[in-house]
Amino acid sequence: MRRSLVLASAAITALGLLTGCAAEGDGQDSGTTTLSVAALEGGYGRDMYTKVIQAYERAHPGVDVQLQISKSIEDEITPNMKAGRFPDVVVLGQGRKAALTETLIKDKALEDLTPVLQAKVPGEDKTVGDKLIEGIVGNLNTNPYGDGKTYTMPMYYAPTGLFYNKGLFDKKGWKVPATWDEMFELGEKAKKDDVALFTYPTAGYLDSYFFSLLADIGGEQFYTDVMTYKQGVWRTPQARQALDLTARLLKYAAPTTVGYANEQDFTKNQQSVLDNKALFMPNGTWIVGEMADAPRADGFAWGLTPLPAVTEGGKRYITTSVESVWVPAAAKNKDAARDFVAYLYSDEAAKIFAASDAIQPIEGVAGSLTEENAEFYKVYEDPSVAALVGGFASTAPVKGVDIKATLFDTANSVISGDKTLDQWQTALHEASEKLRQAGG
């Protein structure tokens, strides 16, 4: 399936990082190149990286790939990077709290990977660029400086939206809400069965929710206005409508949501959907693998839906999560790094990744999905739904300002009653204005 993605600006509010110079040496020993790869261990697990590296080494006997993988990879590699010891390849997207990728983008500390797009995939006849789906590169997520050059390569893409238990809806005879009015009506029905309408793993997962909601309400131009800090944008009726709808939804949140909304306990909020204690949660397709071994209610089956339409029959957007792979500008083995990145888009590697439900934006890969995952990707075939890529535009850092935290994390305070809707809107307006003045 070849589809154009709706492209928006790349997500970031950058934090400062002192980057040291590359360490001395060429990374070679007795004719063998040692290539260091650092990767975030996300919901897809770590085995797929091990298998891909083994396959690469079999075809490249002169390369020894050393993998460093962790759920908090930024904490492990940042001290070494400050000391001048950089990985050669990093698999780490944007939107993480540590904002390492965003920081290196701001500091212009990434290697230009445009040549990778033009290079043939090792062992194949096609170039990397030929294999990628239309629209997945060339946006501010991959080309952050707007200069036609690609610095981050898209690794996996996944629809994110509201996940739910199809089995419960079938059992109860409930329809998946198509409008917000239907959503709140369902909330009242579920309440009678002691089932919450909504939860989220952590407030940070509201990124996909808010990005889609803003576009649903005001269209792509309004979404872009918010993401680029247009003057007074959070004072507009559309912004107020987004916050109003969200505050109303949060009244139906599971009572355990805030208590579990942290890095240690977030899977307990996810478990509440598997246990039929909550109906919907924002998440991505990686949830299937992440919760594969978790207990679940009889008849449980994952379902995915975009947010309800703001107006009946209106266009809906679904935020598309795109993970990234990049090469630090201070990497020692850039040629080997570029070759390895190109290999990640080979049919051989793509098959290994897909077995762990990590789907790359390669033509035809979605057709090899398991039945469960294929259902998720069918959302892109709905003519009333458009894909949305990106988030907040980059600016110079502003002390004390983190607009993503202000927008997403405040949900915890709204649920607990510590913040009012007016306070939320005011804080967003003030943060947006400061970022606009800083160069948004």
Average pLDDT estimate for 387-393: 81
| Residue 252 CB burial class (10 angstroms; 0-12, 13-18, ≥19) | buried
Least confident of 28-32, 65-69, 399-403, 434-438: 28-32
Size of the chain in residues: 440
- Whether residue 84 contacts residue 21, with contact meaning beta carbons closer than 8 Å, is answered with yes
Q: Closest Cα to residue 80, out of 332, 318, 255, 304?
A: 332
In tens, the pLDDT along 22-41 reads: 333 444 445 889 999 999 99
Q: What band does 100 get if pLDDT is binned at 50, 70 and 90?
A: very high
Rounded Cα distance, 125 and 366, in Å: 21
Q: Enumerate the CATH 3.40.190.10 domain ranges in the chain, comma separated.
A: 12-157+323-369, 159-319+394-437
12-157+323-369: CATH superfamily: Periplasmic binding protein-like II (3.40.190.10)
The secondary element (H helix, E strand) that includes residue 352 is helix 347-355
- The residue assigned the tokens 């075939």 is 381
Query: Amino acid identity, residue 42?
Result: G
Beta-carbon contacts of residue 198 (< 8 Å; ≥ 6 apart): 187, 249, 250, 252, 253, 254, 257, 278, 279, 280, 281
Residue 196 tokens, joined:
């919450």
Q: Is the pLDDT of residue 426 over 50?
A: yes
33-70 residue pLDDT tens: 999 999 999 888 899 999 999 999 999 999 999 999 99
Amino acid at 241: Q
- Going by DSSP bridges, is the β-strand pair 385-389/6-7 parallel, antiparallel, or unpaired? parallel
Q: How far apart are CA 198 and CA 247, in angstroms?
A: 12
Beta bridge partners of 386: 317
pLDDT, average across residues 104-115: 94
C-alpha–C-alpha distance, residues 194 and 394, integer Å: 43
Q: How far apart are CA 281 and CA 212, in angstroms?
A: 14
Tokens of 62: 């002169």
* Structure-token match 């908090």, residue found: 72
For domain 159-319+394-437, the question of CATH label 3.40.190.10 is answered with yes
Rg (CA), the chain: 22
- For the stretch 345-367, pLDDT in tens is 999 999 999 988 889 999 888 77
| pLDDT reading at 320 higher than 60 | yes
